[in-house]
């Protein structure tokens, strides 16, 4: 393969004047600027993607991929038949009914409002990751006959100053008629388990009881609030939800996890885009080094450029020489910056730790995706190319007669 002569001249111009050095200091600084900019951008995007996926996984460990509810009322009657119909739909892995309510939880030392979820202990573990999140106790204990057990988050246990086996009181928002009017319904429950989801919002305000206990405690009868659905691919949950709505018909509606957490993930996505734009400025600053390096080369090599033009080299050929210089700087800087970004991300994830008693994560999650690598590399190469336009144009406009007048 024969390379054009412009390529060899470009390499010669990037070399140092002194013997024993294969690259000039200005070229080295330009390459280093691009490499550091690419590495910083790669590391930042990797950290932000890692945090986004970590939050997503924690949300989905507690919540289902899709929730099916009734548009017209708060409960569903024939939930067994509806769950079977949903389970027969493509991409659906498992279903489970649930009951949702807000109650007051009291202990001997404190009182706290909580979100109460009635679950089926036999099927809840197939839809969510509750079994993995439970650190003390077992979910199957909730299905013991004549047993009022409750599973609470570790932060809620801390607020109420309770532990495994302690007694708690649940106060229902639906009272019972008495001689003095409506009397709040109070029922004693035993702490049957403590879970840790990694999300403070869940660990401090969520409690699980069996679905039969919830129906009896809330005076609901044989009804549920909705049906949780797990699919085989979380990224097609919206399409599956739309299909389920069509199959079930009115008044049922299905919401996927992306819609239920739209504000959170939209904010994370916007933050990632903003950080990408801000950190691209680092590469943009590095491009000024490329501009200054090429202008210095044009100034130093004025005589050689004049000779090339006198020998018949056209303006386009002269421009290509300096554009190749800029592209080489950008390419080498990007090639160094990408593995440097990987190394920085690896070091952050494996060697930098947070105090476990303060933060919910011990290590910074880093996830570098192929699309991020492509975006960063393309941005660096594009900026490097644009930085060559003015120096190349200036070299192409050089007048041979003027440059050789005093030689």
DSSP labels for 73-88? SS-BSSHHHHHHHHHT
Spatial separation of the C-alpha atoms in residues 7 and 327, rounded to whole Å: 11
Enter the DSSP assignment of 142: G
Mean pLDDT, all residues of the chain: 82
Residue with tokens 């280093």: 32
Question: What kind and span of H or E run contains 141?
Answer: none
**If pLDDT is split at 50, 70 and 90, which confidence band does 180 have?**
low
- Residue 225 — φ and ψ, nearest 5°? -75, -40
Question: Residue 119: in which H helix or E strand, if any?
Answer: strand 111-119
If pLDDT is split at 50, 70 and 90, which confidence band does 20 have? very low
On the question of pLDDT at 97 being above 90, the answer is yes
Q: Is the bond preceding 251 in cis, omega lying within 30 degrees of 0?
A: yes
Q: What is the DSSP letter of 236?
A: G
Note the pLDDT of residue 231: 92
Please enumerate in sequence order all residues whose Cβ is within 8 A of that of 153, keeping only pairs 6 or more positions apart, or say none.
Answer: 194, 195, 196, 197, 202, 203, 204, 205, 206, 207
Instruction: Classify each residue of 176-207 as buried b or exposed e, where b means 16 or more C-beta atoms within 10 Å of its C-beta.
Output: eeeeeeeeebebebebbbbbbbbbeebbbbbb
Residue-wise pLDDT tens digits, 124-158 = 989 988 888 899 988 988 888 888 889 999 999 99
pLDDT of residue 360: 64
Residue 356 burial class via C-beta count within 10 angstroms: exposed 0-12, middle 13-18, buried 19 and up = exposed
β-strands 181-195, 149-153 pairing:
parallel
| Residue 181 pLDDT | 58
- Specify the pTM: 0.74
Task: Express each pLDDT in 217-262 by its tens digit.
Answer: 888 888 999 999 999 988 888 899 889 988 888 888 998 888 888 7
Lowest mean pLDDT among 9-18, 79-88, 141-150, 315-324: 9-18
Tell me if 234 sits within 8 A of 65, measured CB to CB: yes
């Amino acid at each position: 393969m024969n390379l054009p002569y412009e390529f060899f001249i470009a390499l010669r111009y990037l070399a140092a004047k002194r013997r024993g050095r294969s690259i000039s200091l200005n070229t080295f600084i330009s390459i280093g600027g691009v490499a550091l900019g690419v590495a910083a951008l790669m590391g930042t995007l990797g950290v932000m993607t890692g945090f986004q996926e970590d939050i997503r996984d924690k949300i989905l460990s507690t919540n289902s991929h899709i929730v099916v509810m009734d548009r017209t009322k708060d409960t569903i009657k024939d939930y067994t038949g509806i769950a079977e119909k949903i389970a027969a739909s493509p991409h659906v892995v498992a279903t489970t009914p649930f009951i949702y309510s807000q109650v007051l939880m009291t202990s001997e030392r404190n009182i706290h409002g909580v979100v109460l979820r009635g679950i089926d202990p036999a099927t809840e573990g197939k839809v969510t990751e509750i079994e993995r999140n439970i650190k003390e106790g077992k979910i199957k204990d909730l299905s013991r006959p004549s047993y009022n057990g409750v599973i609470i988050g570790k932060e809620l246990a801390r607020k109420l100053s309770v532990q495994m086996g302690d007694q708690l009181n649940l106060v229902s928002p639906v009272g019972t008629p008495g001689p003095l009017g409506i009397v709040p319904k109070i029922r004693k429950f035993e702490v049957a388990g403590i879970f840790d989801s990694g999300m403070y919002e869940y660990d401090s305000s969520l409690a699980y009881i069996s679905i039969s206990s919830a129906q009896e405690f809330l005076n609901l009868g044989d009804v549920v609030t909705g049906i949780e659905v797990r699919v085989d691919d979380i990224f097609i949950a919206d399409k599956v939800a739309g299909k389920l709505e069509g199959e079930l018909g009115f008044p049922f509606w299905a919401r996927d996890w992306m819609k239920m957490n739209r504000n959170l993930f939209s904010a994370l996505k916007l933050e990632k885009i903003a950080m990408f734009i801000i950190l691209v400025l680092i590469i943009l600053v590095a491009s000024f080094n490329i501009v200054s390096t090429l202008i210095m080369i044009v100034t130093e090599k004025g005589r050689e450029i004049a000779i090339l033009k006198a020998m018949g080299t056209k303006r386009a050929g002269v421009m290509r020489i300096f554009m190749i210089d800029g592209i080489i700087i950008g390419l080498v800087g990007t090639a160094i910056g990408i593995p440097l970004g990987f190394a920085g991300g690896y070091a952050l994830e494996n060697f930098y730790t947070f105090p476990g008693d303060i933060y919910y994560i011990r290590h910074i999650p880093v996830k570098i995706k192929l699309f991020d690598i492509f975006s960063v590399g393309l941005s660096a190469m594009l900026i490097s190319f644009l930085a060559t336009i003015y120096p190349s144009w200036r070299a192409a406009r050089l007048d041979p007669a003027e440059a050789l007048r005093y030689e």
